[in-house]
Structure 1
Amino acid sequence: MDASGFSQAKQDQTRRLSNSVLRRTLVNVVVFAVVYLALFLGFMNTLGSSLSNLAYNLVGQSYWMHTAIANLFLVCVAVGFIVGIVLVVRSGINRALRYFDLLLDSVTDVLAKSEGPVVLPSELAPTALFLNGIKAEGERSERAAKAAEERKNELVVYLAHDIKTPLTSIIGYLTLLEESPDLPVDVRARYTGITLAKAYRLEELLDEFFEITRYNLQTIPIERSRFDGALFVSQVIEEFYPLAEGRSLSLVFDGPDELPVFADAGRVARVLNNVLKNAVAYADAGTEVRVRTGLVVAPDGFVWWELTVTDRGRELSPEHLERIFEKFFRADAARGSDGGGAGLGLAIAREIARAHGGDIYATSDAGLTSFTVWIPQGPSVGK
């Protein structure tokens, strides 16, 4: 529940509780007063005269003494009435205090993670609803944390296995090179190339492993500055040319010659790197990966920096699109040792975009998959 919802629930609960306690107290006071006065009047009508005559005779028919006893009797009746009212009001206060005891017990149950919903009297219904909401949210968060931890442990196992594979190959080829110094030059060169490729793959896996161990989406600092977005995107694309050529892919830049933007260049570079890496890895060989960028003005006049990476390859299902930005999520096809990451790249990309105040979205239709990043700029940028 957000701050406004909590404030509204608090006001509703205070109003209901105060009205309930006040209403019950007033009813009890009225009932006591009516019963007390009815008993007094009934006593006076039935026994009043007899007792008055008896008292008159007991004091020797002294008018002064009889009047003093009558006044004392009336004072005792008034004091009894006042004491009764005080006791009734005190009972109402004690009832209100018992509500606080119930609230404390309920909060204790929530903190102790006891089973079952919080049950409170009808006067505390808003609080019961609020506490049950907190309890449900806590249970959901706990399940999500447990699932993430299980997924994280599972991926550590995958990475440990994947790390062992290239490491075994590296050791094997280096052993051959050491034990066979008379190998032909072309064979030695081929073995060296394979060893280097396996070493690069091992480096990638180690980077992913360390990414998992230090991963914390809540501590991504953003430090904005002004720079040329077009030049920035071109430089990021250039880093992927060797990888794209290896898969016969064409990298296409679609944007203006200059594009003044305001963002954290290092963080956005990581976003674009992660998205481009995903596109290059899963695009069909011989196709193109297009990167489009520009400023988009919303109907309210606010300016957004748009970055869109589009590739043609395997179509992503709606279920896959819903989970693709989750931590540690990887498609089954990405588990092979020759490709696929730890399932952090797109999750980190989303958190960086959101840390800027923007977001990232994915669409896939007929094999054409696009990832679009939106970074807020403000109405004055680019004007």
Structure 2
Amino acid sequence: MATKLTNSLLQKRPYNQLIRKMFLQTLSILIIAIIIVLVLRSAGRGYIGNLITLVIGKIFNLGWNDAVDYYYFYVRRNLDTIMAITIIVFFIVLFRFSLTLFTRYFDQIVVGVDHLAEESPNKIIMSPELGFMEEKLNQVKDTLAKRAKDAQEAEQRKNDLVIYLAHDIKTPLTSVIGYLSLLDEAPDLPIEQKAKYVHITLEKACRLENLINEFFEITRYNLQTVPLKKESIDLYYMLIQMTDEAYPIITASGKQVAIHVPEDMMICGDSDKLARVFNNILKNAITYSEEKSTITITAKIHDQHTVITFENKGTIPQEKLGSIFEKFYRLDDARSTATGGSGLGLAIAKDIVTLHGGTVTAQSDQGRTVFTITLP
């Protein structure tokens, strides 16, 4: 049983081909070394001994008998020492050769890693024995390329958004300056007209404040190092309070919010950050839901997790559904930031939920969109 399990594990190893190749190379070198030793052992007798004697005679210009005496005195008497030295030399040479065969695999791996560091567009190719390493490195290469592309797209979206915000700030600022100038230059304007100008100025100033807040939202986006202050939270009360705070923008579009949450339901987490999650998702639902529709919030316990859903009428295109949690991504591609916001709301919500060990997903079909938050 244990043998079968071991064989099964060996068959699943991705580097079996490399092990087999290295084994055959090592075995070949060992066989060559054995042959060399056998040849050396027979060097003192027979044809090889005569050949060595003939070479000595040629080198030192000796007759056959003198060459034989020379051979016996200098070679045969020291044959053990000569064999030992020769074996050591051959062993070093063969060992160095075997290392060269082995280290060429490391050279291929180094070249592959260099391709990763240089962000080369070419596919990493290695010898068949390193097929498993080639596959892994190409997977890492593709992952890094995707991350770089996503980061570049997010940066481009952020830059575009900053440009749009800078442009949009000019409009309310120009209006504020214009109406204040009128009030300053004509202090004797009728009260009704003054009130009208003040009201318009206040609206433009509020719009200007919202745009500046968008700038702050962009610059402070970094939740990776934010510590969580977990505590017991009354979920029902938090959702009721959040809905009350959003009442003006809910009623302005003739919409309603229905909360179906047990009044005694409690969750554990950072209250400020989870409130931001629920608020961001609710604002998204208010912005992109149909006019005079109802946004439904529900919560239940499932498999030791709290599942909270926000459901509203309205559909998110499938090609955009996978990107709505990305930084600076907005469903509204129009230039105006009046409805689109900074594109950080859902990205922040996802990061906060992830910090709590949970998940947030979105589904949209048949005219309805559902955001689902799962918290441990």
- TM-score normalized with structure 1 length: 0.81
SS in 1 for 2:363: strand
Q: Which residue of 1 aligns with 2:347?
A: 347
1:297 is aligned to 2:320: no
Q: Structure 2 unaligned runs (5+)?
A: 1-8, 58-62
CA contact (8 A) 1:25 1:89 kept: no
Residue 317 of structure 1 corresponds to 317
The partner residue of 1:199 within 205, 216, 228 is 205
1:338 matched residue in structure 2:
338
Higher mean alpha-carbon deviation, 230-239 vs 38-47, is at: 38-47
Does 252-261 or 82-91 show the bigger shift? Answer: 82-91
1:220/1:355 contact within 8 Å kept: no
Displacement after TM superposition at 1:33 (Å): 3.0
The alpha-carbon distance between structure 1 residues 186 and 250, as it changes in their structure 2 partners (threshold 3 A), is farther
Q: Residue in 2 aligned with 1:5?
A: none
State yes or no: 1:139 paired with 2:145: yes
Counterparts of 1:197 and 1:134, CA distance in 2: 52
* Aligned equivalents of 1:160, 1:238: Cα separation in 2: 32
- For the residue of structure 2 that corresponds to 1:373, the secondary structure is strand
Of 256-265 and 331-340, the range deviating more from structure 2: 331-340
- Per the alignment, residue 381 of structure 1 pairs with none
* 80-89 vs 156-165, which moves further: 80-89
**Residue of structure 1 in register with 2:27 after alignment:** 26
Distance 1:287 1:186, change over 3 A: farther
CA distance in 2 between counterparts of 1:366 and 1:94 reads 65
Task: State the shift of 1:192 in Å.
Answer: 2.1
Q: CA RMSD in A?
A: 3.4
Aligned residues: 359
Could you tell me which of 207, 213, 225 is aligned with 2:231? 225
- Distance in 2 (alpha carbons) for counterparts of 1:340 and 1:254: 28
- Contact persistence 2:357–2:375 (CA under 8 A): yes
Whole-angstrom distance in 2 between the partners of 1:60 and 1:140: 78
Query: Partners of 1:178 and 1:204 in 2: how far apart?
Result: 26
- Tell me the distance in 2 between the aligned counterparts of 1:180 and 1:363: 56
Cα distance, 1:359 vs structure 2: 1.4
Percent identical residues: 35
Q: Displacement, 1:195?
A: 1.9
CA contact (8 A) 2:332 2:340 kept: no
Partner amino acid for 1:239? E
Q: Partner of 1:323: helix, strand, or coil?
A: coil
Instruction: Tell me which residue corresponds to 1:104.
Output: 110
Counterpart residue number, 2:359: 359
CA contact (8 A) 2:231 2:271 kept: yes
Paired residue for 1:162? 168
Task: Specify the code of the residue in structure 2 equivalent to 1:30.
Answer: I
Please say if 1:83 is aligned against 2:84.
Answer: no
Shift of 1:265: 0.7
Task: Please say which of residues 272-281 and 116-125 is displaced more in the overlay.
Answer: 116-125
Give the match for residue 218 of structure 2.
Answer: 212
Q: Partners in 2 of 1:74 and 1:83 — Cα distance?
A: 14
Does the 8 Å contact 2:53/2:68 carry over to 1?
Answer: no
Query: Which one is further off, 72-81 or 254-263?
Result: 72-81
Deviates more, 1:50-59 or 1:21-30: 50-59
Give 1:39 deviation, angstroms. Answer: 8.2
| Residue aligning to 2:130 | 124
Q: CA deviation at 1:80?
A: 2.5
* Range 340-349 or range 39-48, more displaced: 39-48
Residues 47 and 99 of structure 1, relative CA distance in 2, 3 Å threshold:
closer
Identify the range of structure 1 (12-21 vs 279-288) with the bigger mean alpha-carbon deviation.
12-21
Which residue of structure 2 aligns with residue 4 of structure 1? none
Q: Deviations over 1:361-383 (max 9, x none)?
A: 2222333222222211xxxxxxx
| Whole-angstrom CA distance in 2 between matches of 1:106 and 1:282 | 47
Query: Which stretch shows the higher mean deviation, 154-163 or 364-373?
Result: 364-373
Aligned counterpart, 1:372: 372
What whole-Å deviation, never above 9, does each CA across 1:13-68 have from its counterpart, x for those lacking one? Answer: 87765654443132023134336636875994436469889999449999xx9588
* Aligned-partner Cα distance in 1 for 2:52–2:291: 115
Per-residue deviation at 1:199?
1.6
Tell me the secondary structure at the aligned position of residue 309 of structure 2. strand
Contact 2:164–2:336 (CA under 8 A) maintained in structure 1: no
Counterpart CA distance in 1 for 2:367 and 2:241 is: 27
> Secondary structure at 2:322's aligned position in 1?
helix
- State how 1:238-317 maps to structure 2 within 5 Å: 238-293=244-299, 295-298=300-303, 302=304, 304-312=305-313, 314-317=314-317
Taking a change above 3 Å as real, the CA distance of residues 290 and 243 of structure 1, as seen in their structure-2 partners, is same
Paired residue type of 2:99: I
Residue deviations 1:125-154 (CA, integer Å, cap 9, x gap): 333333333322222222221111111111
Give the distance between the partners of 1:246 and 1:177, measured in 2 at CA. 30
Contact 1:33-1:81 within 8 A present in 2 as well: no
Q: Distance in 2 between matches of 1:211 and 1:75?
A: 83
Alpha-carbon distance change, 52 to 186 in structure 1, aligned in 2, over 3 angstroms = closer
Distance 1:243 1:315, change over 3 A: same
Secondary structure of the residue aligned to 2:233 is strand
Structure 1 position 345, deviation (Å): 0.5
Deviates more, 1:176-185 or 1:322-331: 176-185
The one-letter amino acid paired with 2:242 is V
SS of the equivalent of 1:332 reads coil
Question: How much does 1:100 deviate?
Answer: 3.3
User: Aligned with 1:329: secondary structure?
Assistant: coil
Taking the aligned partners of 1:28 and 1:50, their CA distance within structure 2 comes to 27
